[in-house]
Amino acid sequence: MKKLVILSLSILSIAAFAQENLTAETLWKIKRLGGGDLSPNGKEILFTQTRINIDENRGYTDIFIYDLSSNTVKQVTDTPENEFEAKWMKDGNISFLAGRDGGVQLWKIDPKSGKKGLISQFKGNVEGYVLSPDEKRIATLQSVKVSKTLQEVHSDLPKSTARMETDLMYRHWNQWSDENATHIFIGYKNSAGQYIDGNDLMKDEVYDAVVPPFSGTEALLWVNDGKGLIYNAKKKVGKDFATSTNSALYLFDVETLQTVNLTPAQDGYDTSPILSPDGKMIAWLNMARNGFESDKNVIQYMDLETKSRKSISLNKDLTINDFQWARDGKGFLFVSPFKGVNQLFTCDMNGAVSQITTGRMNVVHFSQGKERLILGLQSMIAPTDLWNYDLKTKTLTQLTKINEDIFAKLNLPTIQEKWIKTTDGKEMLTWVLLPTNYKEGQKYPTLLYCQGGPQSMVSQFFSYRWNLMLMASQGYVVIAPNRRGLPGFGQEWNDAISKDWGGQPIRDYLSAVDQVSQESYVDPNRIGAVGASYGGYSVYFLAGNHEGRFKSFISHCGLFNLESWYGTTEELFFANWDIGGPYWDTDNKELYEVNSPHRYVQNWDTPILVIHGGKDFRVPESEGMQAYQAAQLKGLKSRYLYFPDEGHWVLKPQNGILWQREFFAWLAETL
């Protein structure tokens, strides 16, 4: 397939006449586009649009259609509820879930007439659904009770709020575990066209049907003409769940009611099952190494009749984020991080790779048609919109501009691509954003952006919190290095951070700062470092090892004391792989001494803002409290910004705006 060149700056050429800079308040007014799937006839595109109501501190999601014949957008729903899980039906109608009267119902709507009808009323709280290919059956994800509460054991104390833990994984990311698990229910369509709520195919099991907390209906797949359902689960609990990434694909036979593990011999993650166009094979993504959540994702496929399985070995060193069978069934299309951008590729069954997209825009979604690809694209200076790639002419056309009214008024920063020489002689891609008010010969305060993950590429992402365009719009140069330990630059580069958190990755940050600070536009006396998660860890580590390079620090949900963090985090497979395992293991003594930021507090001499969420169970709040307390006791200018109702991320609109205000207020004071 011919390469497609994307010129990201051209999509916002109207901004050449802009007069305003992006602000935190404007950032939260930007509408958010989701999906972008072609209709069965290939003439319409289904997508959702979410708008944030700051006063109500919530978002509203509605369904939209883009008509390719008339090049017009039509809003399909406009209700007080959020519509979600919107999908094309084979007759061109759209099915979707929506909340009403305290529950969730399944609806369908004719996108042309707007006629809407209720097609299922569920007994439980439905989290998602998948219709069988003939639409005669429905699989739903529902929460079911699998254990007793402590209050039920002590029934005479109904107002007690106590918990009793007997194993690990009693909390996960931002939620405490409870007596419920997510199970799959299989129902059917009756003669009246209504879907009847089904039976629990995992009855008496204590496991979740999909890998919590982020998996959903993408982990469910109907096969064998609707006679079988494949689901992707990690059937482990407690310590076994906390220390392993070994998930599997399970095939449930609707007629015999038997379940078979299709991938029993594989140790790492097996995820994202998809069906071949002829229905004879399935493919999925596999990580080989148990415990390594950021291992390379490879494509495996299986013949459903013979159960023979093969892996595709790509002739390019890539890991796969998202993939689909090609329409002819002779290969795959997939998205992969590649040199700082999430690009679209294709491969044949032998692993020969061709790159489809190039340029500075992330592919966040794609849908295949006979004549076109529909792409969801975004960059650091453009939130997601839909684009049409014509397969015959090899041309790209932007379809939606859902935030044109906002971006027409905004100045845009300039993005530079620099390749920095690291201390061990490697070349490192570093994005540099110049302020929107940039003037030749003027020096600007500068921010080193430290990426989280840690294995998460600094791509052309548009974030609603760590928004690099917003930082540049407030008058800062932004340095964003793709340091050691993230994908897109080969597996060796990705793996290099494990057990070396405070080593080469930190030296990579310093290499980027030292080289870019020599540019005429950087004020070397006004450089700060900011970041979250591993990026927050990096800020803490740099605070004790920066040799005067930085004048200000901001750490959000950072790891401060690796010993206390190991004792309070939940997914221990991550800690075991990336930092070596338990601190009481004598083999790990040096790793903890060298890599834990709290070991260098004696060198702290710079103002620091610490931010943390009370529901952050990946990096518990005590990490932020320890860092803030150390800064206070050392007499440093410091603040502790605490969100009791947020987790690892700040998701509530008013909290998000407050976060941005305090972030930039701190920088204004200290830089």
344-377 per-position pLDDT tens digit: 999 999 999 999 999 899 999 999 999 999 999 9
| Separation CA 479–CA 356 (nearest Å) | 28
Which residues lie below 8 Å from residue 10, measured CB to CB, with a gap of 6+? none
Angle at alpha carbon of residue 60, lines to 57 and 64, rounded to 5°: 160
Q: Which of 39, 379, 616, 638 is catalytic?
A: 616
Closest listed residue to residue 112, CA positions, set 72, 60, 79? 72
The whole-angstrom distance between residue 584's C-alpha and the CA centroid of its chain comes to 33
C-beta atoms surrounding 342 within 10 Å: 23
- At residue 520, does pLDDT exceed 60? yes
Which pLDDT score, from 0 to 100, does residue 17 have?
Answer: 54
Helix (H) or strand (E) holding 260: strand 259-261
Nearest to 362 by CA among 376, 381, 348, 347: 376
Q: Which of 8, 95, 533, 638 is catalytic?
A: 533
Distance CA 47, CA 59 (A): 16
Is 272 a known active-site residue? no
Q: Structure tokens of 167?
A: 């194993």
Q: Assign residue 540 a region (left: φ > 0; alpha: ψ between -120 and 50; beta: otherwise).
A: alpha
DSSP letter at 465?
S
End-to-end CA separation in angstroms for the chain = 49
Q: Which pTM value belongs to this model?
A: 0.95
Helices (H), 36-163: 150-153
d(CA 1, CA 348): 11
Nearest alpha-carbon partner for 172 in 210, 212, 211, 144: 212
pLDDT digits (tens, 9 = 90+) for 284-314: 999 999 999 999 999 999 999 999 999 999 9
How does pLDDT run across 174-221, given as a tens digit for each residue?
Answer: 999 999 999 999 999 999 999 998 899 999 999 999 999 999 999 999
pLDDT at 4 over 50: no
pLDDT digits (tens, 9 = 90+) for 642-669: 999 999 999 999 999 999 999 999 999 9
Q: For residues 96 and 76, what is the distance between their CA atoms, to the nearest angstrom? A: 11
Residue 612 falls in the annotated catalytic set: no
pLDDT > 70: percent of the chain: 97
**Is the per-residue pLDDT at 15 higher than 70?**
no
67 is catalytic: no
Q: How would residue 100 be classed by pLDDT, with cut points 50, 70 and 90?
A: low
Q: Which domains are seen in the chain, by residue range?
A: 411-670 (3.40.50.1820)
